């Protein structure tokens, strides 16, 4: 019996990178998991479903663009209808366009905010209405909200900073129902979007006190802990997991 046996989790952006690791770890802990993917690489979503179907737990991948509210809400409602409820929400999907603010278009701004902020609000509002007592709302942000580190992150940093205020306020709204809200801020993590063998990786590594990139399983392990009973007294918090990058 896993720590999350019988629980139902919904994860946005679960077909690769940190999201895929979260889906697999929650499944290993016994949760039923439904996750969204953009549809650009459906075979990756299928691979995650196959890898995370463990000990009879239910798995489902749903194509949904987090920038499109109607698609996100459809996927969330499918969770309640098909899986019978919602206990854990992990808003993981995010986009990053890094460029000087003078080159940032309004269309790029809108897309960044739609995915990184509006989608988190939409999913959290749905969870606030539908989630079972004792549920968890976990959001994946970025340590760049506190320390951009370099030029070009104005809009990205702003979008991730908004998640702290949302998380703190949610803890007040949902505390009486024993629903916790927590923000995780990863630092440099080895994914296909930010590979450890990239040209910029040495500079990022040199900024960490541990002298290395993080790996996706370290983020997933923190999500699993925050989803379980041992973390019941944690809410409204921002937890930075960045190898000392922001120290």
Q: What is the pLDDT of residues 120-154, one digit of tens each?
A: 999 999 999 999 899 999 999 999 999 998 899 99
Is residue 156 part of the annotated active site? The answer reads yes
Spatial separation of the C-alpha atoms in residues 24 and 229, rounded to whole Å? 19
Specify if 204 maps to a domain: yes
Q: Coil, strand, or helix at residue 86?
A: coil
The structure's pTM equals 0.97
C-alpha dist (Å) from residue 83 to 14, 59, 78, 86: 17, 10, 8, 8
Q: Whole domain around residue 120: which residue ranges?
A: 8-241
User: Are 225 and 185 within 8 A, CB to CB?
Assistant: no
Can you read off the two tokens belonging to residue 207? 């900024």
Specify if 183 maps to a domain: yes
pLDDT score of 54: 83
What share of the chain has pLDDT > 90, as a percent?
95
Specify if 193 maps to a domain: yes
Summarize the confidence of residues 13-37 as an average pLDDT: 97
CATH number for the domain spanning 127: value is: 3.40.50.720
Among residues 109, 156, 225, 233, which one is catalytic?
156
CB atoms within 10 A of CB 133: 10
Counted domains in the chain: 1
Specify if 131 maps to a domain: yes
Can you read off the two tokens belonging to residue 42? 């459906």
Asked if pLDDT for residue 14 goes beyond 90, the answer is yes
Q: Coil, strand, or helix at residue 87?
A: coil
The predicted-structure confidence for 160-204, as pLDDT tens digits, reads as follows 999 999 999 999 999 999 999 999 999 999 999 899 999 999 999
Report strand pairing: 136-140 vs 32-37.
Answer: unpaired
Specify if 198 maps to a domain: yes
The predicted-structure confidence for 40-76, as pLDDT tens digits, reads as follows 889 999 999 999 988 789 999 999 999 999 999 999 9
Specify if 39 maps to a domain: yes
Specify if 157 maps to a domain: yes
Q: Coil, strand, or helix at residue 149?
A: coil
Specify if 188 maps to a domain: yes
């Amino acid at each position: 019996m896993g720590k999350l046996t019988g629980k139902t989790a919904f994860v946005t952006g679960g077909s690769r990178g940190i999201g895929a690791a979260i889906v697999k770890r929650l499944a290993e802990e016994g949760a039923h998991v439904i996750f969204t993917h953009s549809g650009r690489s459906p075979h990756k979503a299928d691979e995650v479903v196959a890898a995370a179907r463990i000990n009879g737990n239910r798995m489902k991948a749903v194509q949904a663009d987090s920038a499109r509210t109607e698609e996100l809400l459809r996927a969330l409602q499918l969770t309640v209808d098909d899986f019978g409820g919602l206990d854990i929400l992990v808003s993981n999907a995010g986009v990053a366009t890094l460029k000087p603010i003078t080159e940032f278009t309004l269309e790029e701004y809108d897309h960044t905010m739609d995915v990184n902020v509006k989608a988190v609000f939409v999913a959290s509002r749905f969870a606030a209405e539908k989630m079972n007592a004792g549920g968890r709302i976990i959001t994946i942000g970025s340590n760049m909200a506190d320390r951009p580190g370099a030029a070009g992150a104005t809009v990205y940093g702003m979008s991730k900073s908004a998640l702290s205020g949302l998380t703190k306020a949610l803890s007040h709204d949902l505390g009486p129902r024993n629903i916790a809200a927590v923000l995780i801020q990863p630092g440099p993590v080895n994914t296909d979007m930010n590979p450890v063998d990239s040209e910029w990786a040495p500079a990022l590594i040199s900024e960490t006190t541990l002298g290395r990139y993080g790996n996706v399983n370290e983020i997933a392990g923190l999500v699993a802990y925050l989803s379980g009973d041992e973390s019941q007294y944690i809410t409204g918090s921002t937890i930075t997991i960045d190898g000392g990058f922001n120290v």
